[in-house]
Amino acid sequence: MKPPTFKPKPGWTSVDPFWQMKTSGCYLSRDGSDRKLKIRYYAEEGKDCFHALVWFGPDSEGPPGHAHGGAVAAVLDEALGAAAWARGLIVMTAKLTVKFRRAVPLGLLAVVDAHVRRAGGSRVLVSGSLTDGRGRTFAEAEGIFLKVPRSSWKLFQLDDATP
């Protein structure tokens, strides 16, 4: 089983929400494995929506023939955080709530849609869903993320460039 070619929908532009990171340490999006999962991020022109295309490979297996719930949760965690990072909000997860609706088949090229709902003070609220892109929802998530103060960016090995 090999990952498919990622073909974004019309109006989607490929983005690297973690461009500030000096290391290649993104848990999922920079994994480099062709067997676990692949994830690519996209912004939608003219809309405040953030997307990801995700492929669940054989090394993400939990129940036979399906992705492990932890892999699904990790995808949603990174994608929701990426939606904030793409808006220049450097955050880390404080709380993630995932509702699993149905098992994710291995080999599925899924779509994550994420929206920053609120970004006030030190907290950012982001919600999103993982679907097959044709109306079937596999999981929904809501995350509360904490803004990382600029004074702490060096601890996170971030470039000091302004997004």
Q: Is residue 44 part of a domain?
A: yes
Q: Which residues are catalytic?
A: 77
Q: Is residue 163 part of a domain?
A: no
CB 83, CB 114: distance < 8 Å: yes
Q: Is residue 103 part of a domain?
A: yes
Residue 118: which residues within 8 A CB-CB, separation 6 or more?
Answer: 124, 125
Rounded to the nearest 5 degrees, what angle is found at the Cα of 84, between the Cα atoms of 91 and 57?
95
* Chain center to CA of 83: 7
Residue 156: which residues within 8 A CB-CB, separation 6 or more?
Answer: 21, 90, 148
Q: Is residue 50 part of a domain?
A: yes
Q: Is residue 91 part of a domain?
A: yes
Looking up residue 112, the CATH number of its domain turns out to be 3.10.129.10
Q: Is residue 38 part of a domain?
A: yes
DSSP result, 105-133:
BTT-EEEEEEEEEEEETTEEEEEEEEE-S
Rounded to the nearest 5 degrees, what angle is found at the Cα of 42, between the Cα atoms of 60 and 45?
155
pLDDT tens-digit profile of 71-97? 999 999 999 999 998 888 989 999 999
pLDDT at site 108 = 93
Residue 32: which residues within 8 A CB-CB, separation 6 or more?
Answer: none
* Global model pTM greater than 0.85: yes
State the total domains in the chain.
1
Q: Is residue 1 part of a domain?
A: no
**Distance (Å, rounded) from C-alpha 163 to C-alpha 155?**
18
Alpha carbons within 13 angstroms on the beta-carbon side of residue 49 total: 14
**Segments in the chain below pLDDT 70:** 19-33, 152-163
Averaged pLDDT of the chain: 86
Q: Is residue 3 part of a domain?
A: no
Domain extent, residue 98, equals: 12-156
Alpha-carbon separation of residue 83 from 35, 80, 88, 94, 98 (angstroms): 25, 5, 9, 15, 16
pLDDT at site 27 = 56
pLDDT at site 29 = 54
pLDDT tens-digit profile of 128-147? 999 998 999 999 999 999 99
pLDDT at site 163 = 46
pLDDT at site 65 = 96
